[in-house]
Structures are given as C-alpha cells and as structure tokens.
C-alpha cells in the first residue's frame, strides 16, 4: 500500500509533515553530520532579526521536571550575515526551509520579510511570541493581543508574496481569538505553541535559575497544554496548523495530527536525540500502515469527541 505523507502549508509543498522547530535546529548546517536533513519535512530556522542580537544574560537554561526553561533572548547574527553565510546552505537542501523572523515593529517584520523574499526565500514564520524579549516597552508581545497580531501579519502580507506562518504564544486567555486574527490578516498557516512563560528558583541562594529571571518552558511537560491549544485553534480557523510543544515521539506527533495539526514541529527533542524527527517520520508511517491510512491528510482533525456535560 502506497502511503502519502505530503502536506501543503500555504504555497509550500512538504514531503512529510515533520518539521524542526525554530531555535532547536540552528540554520540546518549545524546538524549536517548528525542528521539526514533532506528527509525532514522542513526546517524552521533560528529566528533572525534585522540587526544582530547578543541575547540574554546567562544562565540561559534550566532543567525542570520533563522540561526545560530557556531564556536565550533571540541571539542571532542579524539578517545580512544570515543572507551572506547561512542562506546558501539552506538553498542546497532538498527539503523546504522556513525562515523564522522577529522585529520590534510591524514595519521591521515586513522589511525583513521583503529582504528575504528578494533573496529567494519562499516562506517565513513570524515569531511574534518569544517570551524572552520585550518587543515593545511595557507592552505584551504581539501575539498576546489580537489587534497587534492582526497588524503584524497584515503588514507582512501586504508587502510580500511569501508563505506566512504565524507563531502563536500559549500565554493568552483565548487562543481562538488570536488564531482568528492571524487568519483574517492573511496568515497562510499558524504554528503553536511557542514556550510557556515560567521560572525556577534555587532555594539555597534564593536566586532565579535563569539570568533573565523568567524563561520559556518546553519539552514533554508542556505537551498537554499545546495539544489543547491545537484542538481549540483547529476548531476556530480553516488554515493549516503546525502543532508543536513537547513532541518526543511518533505517538505524540499523531496525537497532534488527530487533534488538528496538518504538520508538526519537533523542538526540544532535537537536543536530546538529533534524529528524533526522522524516527517520528518512520513512526507515523508505521501507524498509518497499521491503521490502513493511505494519506496523512485524512488523519488531520479526526478526534472523536464525546459530548461534554
């Protein structure tokens, strides 16, 4: 039985639904000797900004039960160095790549997106949800407010023809409202969740474990939250969803697909097992064979829900 794993995200055709999440796979080249990158559905790069960013004060990570906190602070080499030094490798790949971008204003987002489009990039992920930087003084990050989400996505949509994936924060009251705003603004897809804002304390020194005090929680600990949000978003928008948050194996990935994700992102698992995403692709195929599913698309959002009281 032939199995079809291909999915479409905006104008991007992916050979399979397994992506590697932003910030967990560098710009691809770093994993060249460890992973057969061309087998991945797509790479989402580490977020880049117009100008280089030094990142946050160490310590930047802390381990927590079934998870990790990070406060990297979007350290990156800036768009021009990215274009000069990182982009050519990504272009040699026989798999899709999506450039994650961030800015402090909607204009910065669109300027960066346009610059990348001119360099031959086909898709961007708008990181409007990093919990570790202050996008605008004293304000919430863009994705914590429906109007700001709309404004950023709209601005990029107006200025480019790129496939736009908008990355959403779980640190919100109502994910459907934000998801709808991004869809209305013209986002081709949504990716969720970014990390959950958290912290950890050393009780001997009474100091936070992270140099930036708070950080974003990822790993298996956040999976139930991510799954719930995918399901809620799936019930509110029609655009495809890239589900991520604590996926460690194929079973986790399939839960996301059943709950509504058209594709899934592997994040923290890459740190523990660089080949996690490849193993997950294999596991999804096996599940499909066992359950006589020919096309992965027919599995998306097939959750059978009991009636709630």
Partner 1 sequence: MKKAKIKILSNYSLKKPYHKLSAYSDYISKLAKPGQFVHIKCSDNNTPLLRRPFSIYSVSKEKGTFEILYEVLGEGTKLLSQKKRENFLDIIGPIGSGFSYNVPFANSHLPILVAGGIGVAPLVFLAERLAKSKIPACQGKAAGRKNQKSKILVLIGTKTKSLILCKHEFKKLGCDVKIATEDGSLGFRGIVTDLLRKELITHNSSLITGIYSCGPRPMLQEVSKIAKQHKIKCQVSLEELIACGVGVCLGCAVNTKSGYKLVCKDGPVFNSDEIIWG
Catalytic residues: 130
Query: Between 22 and 148, whose beta carbon lies closer to partner 1?
Result: 22
Output the six-digit token pair for 127. Answer: 């990181």
The reply to whether 201 sits near partner 1 by the rule CB under 8 A is no
Tell me which residues in 38-77 interact with partner 1 (CB under 8 A): 46, 54-55, 57-63, 65-68, 70, 72, 75
Query: Between 49 and 187, whose beta carbon lies closer to partner 1?
Result: 49
Q: How far is the CB of 63 from partner 1 (least distance, A)?
A: 5
Peptide bond into 193 cis (omega under 30): yes
Classify each residue of 261-295 as buried b or exposed e, where b means 16 or more C-beta atoms within 10 Å of its C-beta: bbbbbbbbbbeebbebbbbbbebbbebbeeeebee
Task: List the one residue out of 248, 263, 288, 285 whose CA is nearest residue 12.
Answer: 263
Q: How far is the CB of 70 from partner 1 (least distance, A)?
A: 6
Tell me which residues in 204-223 interact with partner 1 (CB under 8 A): 219-220
The reply to whether 30 sits near partner 1 by the rule CB under 8 A is yes
The reply to whether 118 sits near partner 1 by the rule CB under 8 A is no
The reply to whether 78 sits near partner 1 by the rule CB under 8 A is no
CA distance 210 to 63: 10
| β-sheet bridge partners, residue 167 | 127, 191
Binder among 10, 78, 186, 274 for partner 1 (CB under 8 A): 274
Q: How far is CA 186 from the centre of its chain?
A: 18
Query: Between 53 and 154, whose beta carbon lies closer to partner 1?
Result: 53
Rounded to the nearest 10 degrees, how much is the dihedral formed by the CA atoms of 62, 63, 65, 66? 120
Q: How far is the CB of 199 from partner 1 (least distance, A)?
A: 15
Q: Give the H/E segment covering residue 9.
A: strand 7-9
Q: How far is the CB of 286 from partner 1 (least distance, A)?
A: 21
> Would the CA dihedral through 34, 40, 44, 45 be positive or negative?
positive
| β-sheet bridge partners, residue 4 | 295
Collapsed DSSP state (helix, strand, coil) of residue 196: strand
Q: How far is the CB of 88 from partner 1 (least distance, A)?
A: 18
Binder among 26, 186, 282, 283 for partner 1 (CB under 8 A): 26
Query: Between 54 and 203, whose beta carbon lies closer to partner 1?
Result: 54
Residues interacting with partner 1, by CB under 8 A? Answer: 23-26, 30-31, 33-34, 46, 54-55, 57-63, 65-68, 70, 72, 75, 219-220, 248, 268, 270-275
């Amino acid at each position: 039985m032939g199995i079809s794993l291909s999915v479409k995200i905006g104008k991007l055709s992916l050979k399979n639904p397994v992506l590697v999440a932003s910030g967990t796979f560098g710009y691809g080249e770093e994993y060249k000797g460890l992973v057969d990158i061309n087998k991945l559905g797509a790479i989402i790069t580490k977020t880049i900004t117009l100008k280089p960013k030094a990142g946050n004060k160490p310590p930047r990570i802390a381990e927590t039960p079934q998870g990790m906190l990070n406060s990297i602070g979007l350290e990156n080499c800036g768009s021009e160095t990215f274009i000069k030094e990182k982009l050519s490798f990504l272009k040699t790949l026989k798999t899709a790549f999506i450039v994650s971008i961030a800015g402090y204003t909607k204009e910065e987002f669109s300027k960066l997106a346009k610059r990348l489009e001119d360099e031959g990039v086909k898709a961007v992920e708008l990181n409007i949800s990093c919990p570790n930087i202050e996008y605008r003084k004293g304000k919430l990050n863009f994705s914590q407010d429906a109007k700001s989400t709309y404004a950023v996505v709209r601005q990029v949509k107006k200025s480019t023809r790129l496939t736009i994936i908008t990355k959403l924060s779980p640190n919100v009251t109502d994910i459907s409202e934000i998801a709808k705003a991004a869809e209305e603004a013209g986002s081709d897809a949504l990716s969720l969740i970014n990390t959950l804002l958290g912290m950890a304390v050393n009780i001997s020194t009474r100091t936070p474990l992270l140099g930036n005090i708070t950080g974003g929680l990822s790993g298996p600990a956040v999976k139930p939250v991510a799954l719930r949000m995918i399901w809620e978003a799936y019930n509110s928008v029609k655009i495809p969803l890239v589900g991520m948050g604590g996926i460690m194996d194929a079973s986790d990935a399939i839960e996301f697909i059943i709950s509504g994700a058209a594709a899934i992102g592997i994040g923290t698992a890459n740190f523990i097992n660089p080949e996690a995403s490849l193993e997950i692709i294999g596991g999804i195929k096996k599940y499909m064979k066992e359950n006589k599913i020919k096309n992965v698309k027919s599995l998306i959002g097939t959750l059978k829900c009991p009636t709630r009281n």
